[in-house]
């Protein structure tokens, strides 16, 4: 089942009739990538104003990751995400860099278009 097909079907029915509210220990049934796609499907069906995404595409291939972020935009869902993949940069306007030096912390906000993610990751690990 493609995510787009599932969303079309759920939009035609009431979201709670789609079976996305089932509670199970999915870790023994679904792969991490399948769990992430299911989480995105639930997110898109519920259409929140804001989503907080923590490594939400880490187990997905780059093409599926792109589809997820395109759908977020299409559905008008604002998001704040945490991730380490350089490919994520193109889906964001800003990057918040958090640093710990000694006993203190600092934060700086950068325009995403000014960040070379490959270099950035090499210098922060």
- pLDDT above 70 (res 122): no
Find, among 83, 57, 94, 58, the residue nearest to 72 by Cα: 57
Q: Tell me the pLDDT tens digit for each residue of 24-70.
A: 676 777 889 989 998 999 999 999 999 999 999 999 999 999 999 99
Residue 48 within a domain: yes
Residue 86 has pLDDT above 80, yes or no: yes
78, part of any domain: yes
Do the domain assignments include residue 98?
Answer: no
Confidence band for 97, pLDDT divided at 50, 70 and 90: confident
Give me the pLDDT at residue 93, please. Answer: 92
Helices (H) and strands (E) in the chain, counts: 4, 4
| pLDDT 10s digits, 4-26 | 666 676 666 665 666 666 676 76
82 is a domain residue: yes
Mean pLDDT value of segment 92-111: 89
pLDDT for residue 3: 63
Are the C-beta atoms of 93 and 111 separated by less than 8 Å? yes
The pLDDT of residue 98 is 82
Q: How many domains does the chain have?
A: 1
Q: Which two tokens stand for residue 23?
A: 């509670």
- 100 part of a folded domain: no
CATH code for the domain of 41: 3.40.50.300
Task: Note the pLDDT of residue 84.
Answer: 83
Q: Copy the structure tokens of residue 93.
A: 């306007």
Across the chain, where does the E strand assignment appear? Answer: 50-54, 78-82, 94-101, 104-111
- 55: domain range? 3-92
Position 44 in a domain:
yes
For the CA atoms of the chain, what is the radius of gyration?
A: 17
Exposure on the CB side of residue 117, measured as CA atoms within 13 A: 15
């Amino acid at each position: 089942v493609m995510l787009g097909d599932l969303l079309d079907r759920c939009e035609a029915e009431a979201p709670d009739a789609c079976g996305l509210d089932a509670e199970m220990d999915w870790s023994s049934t679904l792969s991490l990538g399948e769990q992430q796609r299911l989480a995105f499907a639930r997110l898109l069906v519920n259409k929140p104003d804001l989503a907080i995404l923590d490594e939400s595409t880490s187990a997905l291939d780059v093409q599926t990751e792109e589809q997820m972020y395109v759908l977020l935009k299409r559905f008008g869902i604002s998001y704040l995400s945490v991730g380490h993949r350089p490919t994520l940069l193109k889906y964001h306007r800003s990057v918040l860099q958090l640093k710990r030096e000694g006993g203190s912390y600092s934060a700086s906000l950068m325009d995403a278009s000014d960040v070379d993610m490959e270099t950035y990751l090499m210098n922060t690990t």
